[in-house]
Amino acid sequence: MKTYKIALIKGDGIGPEIIDEATKVLDSVASCFDFDFKYEEVLMGGCAYDETGDPLPQETITAALSSDAVLFGAIGGEKWDSLPREKRPESGLLRFRKELGVYANLRPAVVYDELINASSLKPDVIAGVDLMVVRELIGGIYFGEPKGRDENKGWNTMVYTKDEIVRIAHTAFNIAMERSKRVCSVDKANVLDVSQLWRETVEEVAKEYPDVELSHMYVDNAAMQLIRDPKQFDVMLTGNIFGDILSDEASMLSGSIGLLPSASVGSKIGVYEPIHGSAPDIAGQGIANPIATISSASMMLRYALGEVEAANRIDAAIKKALKEGYRTQDLAQHDAKEVCSTSEMGSIIANYTAK
């Protein structure tokens, strides 16, 4: 029997609650297949600062790099907002991504038929939406130098090298080859020099994928088109800050940010996490939606461990739970037959996974 070593970073706020439900489902699906999991829980975020004085202890990096994958909940909260920037949870997360070399953030946005009325958009606009945002994760304006501020001015620099663009473009085109073979590269090439390099480089990479249709779109238009006609997109390829914004916008097509997962991958270890935050205002109340984290665990099985059949089993279980009318509090007003707690929803999906 294969044993996969998984580093668990529960984090802050609702992080521990949602990670517990994801591991419940993972253990359930493992019982149906010829593998199991060995979990190692490590610290990152505000909880790590409280215990060690560092939002990212070296032990966490070491454990992650010696694992097969990382399953991550969420970090941060107002409690730590007054800390110096380098001590805040978000700084630990940025450093973690850089240390692990996870340069590609994959964020699917899928509209479940059972929740077609949960979106603020008309059903005919979003029915059948299934797109993937491929966001460059460890370059761009969040990491560019120089950066700084004084009393009257603050400055950041958006920087991309050609090599950074090439590797994220290959990721997007390879994913498109497994989907509908369409890539829309999003930039601001009419204004930014860095975006001109981005566009030229993506076009060069595209020549290696003659079966994939490449289009370009300015980021402001892309933001509008995601609302006007989201079904026109298959794979959206973009840089760090544009992808940060567009992927959150795309997440709301589904009706709840609590539904959608993400994967951060590169040349070392992948990190799998929900796209939402730590939601400290609802932590400990048992009302958080665990589906995004459970879906992230499914992505981990698919992309990191190659357990595609097990991933499909989890995805089917999620759809069945929604079809049967089970909802957490965030979706209670949308055709709910039964409103479930965080733990109850995890157990329902785990039970469907085992059947």
pLDDT tens-digit map of 88-124: 999 999 999 999 999 999 999 999 888 888 888 999 9
Domain 119-254, second-level architecture? 3-Layer(aba) Sandwich (3.40)
Residue 50 has a CB neighbour count (10 Å cut-off) of 13
Task: Calculate the average pLDDT of the chain.
Answer: 95
pLDDT of residue 42: 98
- pLDDT tens column, 243-293: 999 998 998 898 888 888 999 999 889 999 998 999 999 999 999 999 999
- Spatial neighbors of 188 by CB under 8 A, at least 6 apart, are 195, 218, 219, 220, 242
pLDDT band at 334 (very low <50, low <70, confident <90, very high): confident
Per-residue pLDDT at 179 exceeds 90: yes
pTM of the entire predicted model:
0.90
Give the residue carrying structure tokens 């590609």. 104
119-254 shares the fold of 1-112+256-355: yes
- Spatial neighbors of 163 by CB under 8 A, at least 6 apart, are none
Q: 254, 116 in Cβ contact below 8 A?
A: no
258 or 33: which leads in pLDDT = 33
Q: Distance between alpha carbon 353 and the CA centroid of its chain, in Å?
A: 22
Mean predicted confidence (pLDDT) in 59-71: 97
Domain 1-112+256-355 in CATH 2.40.110.10:
no
- pLDDT tens column, 215-236: 999 999 999 999 999 999 999 9
Mean predicted confidence (pLDDT) in 346-353: 98
Backbone φ and ψ for 82, nearest 5 degrees, come out as -90, 0
Rounded Cα distance, 45 and 80, in Å: 9
Rounded Cα distance, 76 and 70, in Å: 18
Reported for 243-249, long-range contacts at CB under 8 A and 24+ positions apart, including other chains, are: 243/105, 243/107, 243/133, 243/134, 243/135, 243/136, 243/137, 243/186, 244/135, 245/219, 246/133, 246/135, 246/186, 246/219, 246/222, 247/105, 247/107, 247/109, 247/133, 247/135, 247/275, 248/275, 249/223
Mean predicted confidence (pLDDT) in 170-181: 96
Catalytic positions, please? Answer: 142, 188, 220, 244, 248
pLDDT of residue 6: 98
**Which value, to the nearest 10 degrees, does the dihedral of the CA atoms of residues 80, 84, 86, 89 take?**
10
Report the DSSP beta bridge partners of residue 36. 3
Task: Spell out the domain ranges in the chain.
Answer: 1-112+256-355, 119-254
Mean predicted confidence (pLDDT) in 161-183: 97
pLDDT of residue 214: 98
